[in-house]
Structure 1
Amino acid sequence: MKVVTIATDLEHPFLRRLLVPSCDAMGLNLVVIQANKKGFRPRDKLAILTDHLARCAPDELVMFTDAYDTLFIRGEEYIRKVHASFSHRVVFSAEPNSWPLGNLGLALQKDPPVRPYPYLNSGGFIGLAGDILALCAKYPEPPSEQFPLLRHLRTHDYDTDKLFRFSDQYYWTLVHLLESDTVGLDNGAVLFENFAPAVANFCELTRWTSDFRARGKQAASYRREHARLQARLQSPSGAAQVHFAASLTKAVVLDLLDEGQLPSWLVGVLRQ
């Protein structure tokens, strides 16, 4: 089994201080693929990952993780056991927010939401290399044409491909909806847990980030997220990967690390 991540900045503090040391501590084989920083977009991860998977054995278990906001607190034995318990061959992390489609993403859902994490998050997923590669080959582009609602919106000049093509999460959300027998979500956070805040309107996160960039630690959004995350982290995660997906959340985690305020269940793995 290998853990794969894609990074344009090998000196990013979260990658260098949290993800890499946590994988070392858990005995995980982390493969860091360096991508060209110039013009890199999240959707480019798909092509880079496809190229890597094509050189893997089809039956090799591969766990993808984002580079700049994740770390691991459990090792391969746990990951293999839990992955085998799923009925789906490929399992994605899940989150409380429908991003990037927002309310439109809710309209595409075929079934009621499964709490506490109803919606796909592409910052972590696991499956055999051959299974993931087969999905990439079957859907070389976001399969938006297979959704009547998205086709209808396109006739009114609302083209979701143009709006959201930058995001690999858009791509994988559509693939999951079409391939629900193969692609499952970790709705209960047994493999992947997302610590980003739940929001009614995803634009709130953009406003919070702008507030933080303008005012730093004095921003109301920063103080609110600092307090929320400290309270949330009092309860240890039962997952293998923990994900601080929002940019403000990630900034708070790095500050808590510098302040010596991260809980022992997180930083303890870095000292093993």
Structure 2
Amino acid sequence: MRVITIATDLEHPFLRRLLEPSCAAAGLRLVVLEGTQKGFRPRDKRALLTEYLDRHVAPDELVMFTDAYDTLLLRGADHILDTYAGFPQRVVFSAESNCWPLGNVGLALHDSPPVRPYPYLNSGGFIGPAGDIVALSAKYPKPPSEHFPLLGRLRAHGVDPDRLHATSDQYHWMLVQLLEPDTVGLDHGAVLFENFAPAVANFCELSRWTSDFRANGRQAASYRRERTRLESRLQSPSGAAQVHFASALAKTVVLDLLDEGQLPSWLAGVLPR
């Protein structure tokens, strides 16, 4: 098994100071693929990953993908393999409390009631045999939005979800998972992947918080709110193999806690002293 991430900035502090050391401490082989093309976007990760898997990884080898700038690994291969074996699906994605990026429209695409505590796909972590990931990417080279009448009705009114979310690989994989639930599962219970992003009812809140932080730095109300939230949440250890601080504010707080020597022991313990 190997862990794979994709980065355009190989010196990013979260990658260098958290993800890479945590993988080394857990005995995991981390492969960093560099996105070098101009204007590299999140959706380009899928093509780069698929090309690497097709050329360099045996179809039956298990691979775990993890985001580069806001994740770290807590547990080693034996734990990951044992936990993965408990899922009926061959490819398993992280899940989160927000239906990003479609928001309320995305909720309407789901036929079944939400499975708590993490109902919705998050593409910052997933695991499966290399051949299955390549096959899904080949079967769905573009977001399969034509299979969802609701998205067609939006286009008829001049709102094109494919254009609006063209840069999002999460949009793409969410639609694939809804079409392929027997092949692609979600980690609703955070046994492999835990997402620490704040739950929001209105996605406009996230952009307002980011704007507030950019304008006011660590004096911003949004920074103080997120720091308080994370400090409280991090008092309880995660049972997952990967933890994901999936917002600009969350990863800033974690890096600040690292600099201040304030990370809880269950996180700091996986990093070099």
With normalisation by structure 2, the TM-score equals 0.98
1:26-45 equivalences in 2 (<5 Å): 26-36=26-36, 38-45=38-45
Q: Once the 2 structures are TM-superposed, how far is the Cα of residue 38 of structure 1 from its aligned partner?
A: 2.6
Distance in 1 (CA, whole Å) between partners of 2:142 and 2:188 is 26
For 1:56-205, list aligned pairs within 5 A: 56-205=57-206
Please tell me whether residue 257 in structure 1 is matched to residue 258 in structure 2.
Answer: yes
Counterpart-to-counterpart distance in 1, 2:257 and 2:215: 20
Give the distance between the partners of 1:116 and 1:237, measured in 2 at CA. 14
What is the root-mean-square deviation of aligned Cα atoms in Å? 0.8
Consecutive unaligned residues of structure 2, counting only runs of 5 or more, are none
Contact 1:9–1:37 under 8 Å retained in 2: no
Give 2:53's aligned residue.
53
In structure 2, the residue corresponding to 1:212 is in which secondary structure?
A: helix
CA distance in 1, matches of 2:50, 2:169: 12
- What is the distance in 2 between the residues matched to 1:203 and 1:53? 36
Aligned residues between the structures: 272
Partner of 1:220: 221
Alpha-carbon distance in structure 2 between the residues aligned to 1:40 and 1:69: 18
Offset, 1:271: 3.1
The question of 1:231 aligning with 2:232 is answered: yes
Residue 73 of structure 1 contacts residue 269 of structure 1 at CA under 8 Å; is this kept in 2? yes
Match of 1:14 in 2: 14
After superposition, what is the alpha-carbon deviation per residue over 1:198-223, rounded to whole angstroms, capped at 9, x for unaligned?
01111111110110010001100000
Q: Identity, % of aligned pairs?
A: 75
Cα contact 1:5–1:32 (8 A) shared by 2:
yes
Task: Give distance in 2, aligned partners of 1:66 and 1:26.
Answer: 17
Which amino acid letter does the alignment assign opposite residue 42 of structure 1? P
